[in-house]
Structure 1
Amino acid sequence: MEKYFGKRPRILDSCPELEAQNAEENLMENDINESEIKADPGLRKPIAEYGVNIRDRIRREYVAKGPCQPKGNIFQKTRQGKDNRSFRDAWYKDYDWLEYSEAKHVAYCFYCFLFKRGYVAPGDEAFTSCGFSNWKKALEKFKAHVGDKSSAHHKARIEYENFVNQRGHDESSTSLNKGNFLELLEWYGLRNDEVGKVILKNAPGNNQMTSPSVQKDMANACAVETTLDILGELGDKHFSILVDESRDCSTKEQMAIVIRFVNKDGQIIEMFLALVHVKKTSSVCLKEAIDFVFAKFKLSLSRLRGQGYDGASNMRGECNGLKALILKENPSTCYLISIATTCGSSCKRADMIRQIEHDRLVEMIENGEIGTGRGQNQETSLKRPGDTRWGSHYVTVIRLANMWQSVTEVLENVLVDGEEYETRGKAGM
């Protein structure tokens, strides 16, 4: 593979704390063995016995295989009443969830195996744990198990359908939507004969290198190389961060970290740096996650010169918020909203900054330092950046840069003459 796709990527130095945070998840993912995925439902390990972080991966393996429905077999008969009775494969037609265990000669429910939640009605447990074998009353019990729209089976079926639809692609050989990895590999093989001869169907059946673990490794390799390029361009420059957190489709809280800096050509560069799983969304946990990322990528907090967050209270809290925690370590990490609010939250200070800026412009015009004309050097004020629209921060930065002398004068006045201790403290930051 190295011959066609290049050398293995450079490995970023790890952060012990970050590794400790994700050790359990990574260990459990790597511990999954193909032998764990049993086709026979009577031999399977219950989903609940797997670690929470890998249950969806286990479910995907079983969804890919589908329910176990052996057909054309001579099913074992047992004495029930006056007759010998057995399972019938014709039942699969009306009950697509039905599975049969040849090892234990009992039936199970595929949907409930994958997504059984909490309480199960009496009689339903047979379809998920010990297996069902009352063939004399099979159809009656099947219908009772399905139940109405509030039944545990119905809820499991809905979760199954949502889970399948969420995958978005089908990696089978006849699929027209195999997913990005296989589609790109196939595309590249068609355009490079040397590669096409040794990949996918032309590769040995046991060495096609297309398993989920290989796909993850290659995606991670691309991520490592991309991150190294970003860090290389950043160098030892100062930078700002934009941080946001949200819950993904698997209900995990994820924090995205974006860095913004000025490159050697004077251009403002904004790059996605990392996506970190956080177990809690408190400001302390978010700060710890940022520290982990900074340690992993060897970024110093002393080089941080700006912060931007969304409008969530746990991220913008004045005392305990993430901003305050970072400012305690590095007072130079300006927070745009804080500056704009301190300078313009009262009519008195808003008028003050307008007057100071007006006098400054008049003086510069009289000295011939700037010109006049339509649209030039008009009266302006600081614009408070929006909570969620990052583009609004750009306008604030431009105005702050143009009005910096006036802004610092207002902040100095507030620091000396401010009526409230909290306001004077903000101005001094």
Structure 2
Amino acid sequence: MKRFFSPISSKLPQSSSSAQNAPQVEENLNQLEETHHSAKRLKQGVDLDSLPADPKKRIPTRDYHPDEHESIHQGGGETFSSIGFRSWHKKKRLDTHIGKSNSVHNQAKKKCEDLMRQEQSIQAAFVKLSNQTKLEHKIRLKASIEVARLLLNQGLAFRGHREDESSLNKGNFLEILSWYAKRCDKIDELVLKKAPKNDQMTSHKIQKDIVTACKLETIKAIMEDLNGDYFSLLVDESCDISRKEQMAIVLRYVDRKGSVVERFIGIIHVHDTSALCLKEAIVNYLAQHSLSLSFIRGQCYDGASNMQGRLSGLKVLIQQQMGGSFKHMDELRESQEKKVQVALDMGEVENGKGLNQELGLARAANTQ
């Protein structure tokens, strides 16, 4: 108790009542301390298999009963210290102790190696780079992105049949990058042969990453242009050269300028071409972009039975889920009326005889 409470100085005056109560208070505190330690030292029946592998995350060993200290240190496994180990000449016994690649032993070993080689980590290597090196890396990456955007915009292939040094035609990506570098001295000094071998930004994996990033940005721009409004769904499926069934999805909608546009948003691989499988793939893909079937106001397919079937075709399944009724038609008319009124108030459209009138709207989900 002296560690927590300093003794009262004998020089201070004490009353008779406080002098009589002091021994009783100290006795009560000692009893509380003994009760705490005795409760802490009782056997708790710890489940050793549930102990965290990292000793730092465990309850301190001193809080357990003394008879449980040894088992707590062992962590619950049958280690060398618990049952003994004699067959040192059998290497397979050591493999059993080491375990698989994700065992506690291998995880601890990997953490130890990482701790001892901090200077070789990617983060440490990136921090050591100078500002000039980072600037050169950005220039190489920007040049590769610009070439990839050009090829994507024109719908051209990236790779060639041969891309080694002896090839006369290394493919569109490398040839256009080489042509671009020859006409820009700033880029010519940093790309292709003059770039570091581990930072050329021209590998097939880098090309795929750039294409994926462009795809995500393009779909993001399409969704912002759609702005959660109504749209029509255009779907077609076919096999690629490897005999895999694929389904292309196109959205048809009216953009903010009032023009009808059609935007291709992706190709989905499907296991089979049944109506239920196609519907599930469409619902999941639209959900990834926060789109719902309730906003569909038209469907367009080919004449295949799994698409246009009257009983169990894809068109009927989607129409049943979206609820193609006259209520949607009324909502569409009211929405169009509000848009026209706003455009008239802002002077974007003109009014007059025969203008801005509804000439005819087909029933929802019946357009082709």
TM-score, with structure 1 as normaliser: 0.40
TM-score, with structure 2 as normaliser: 0.46
Ranked by relative contact order (alpha carbons within 8 Å, sequence separation 6 or more), the top structure is 1
Q: Which has the larger radius of gyration?
A: 2
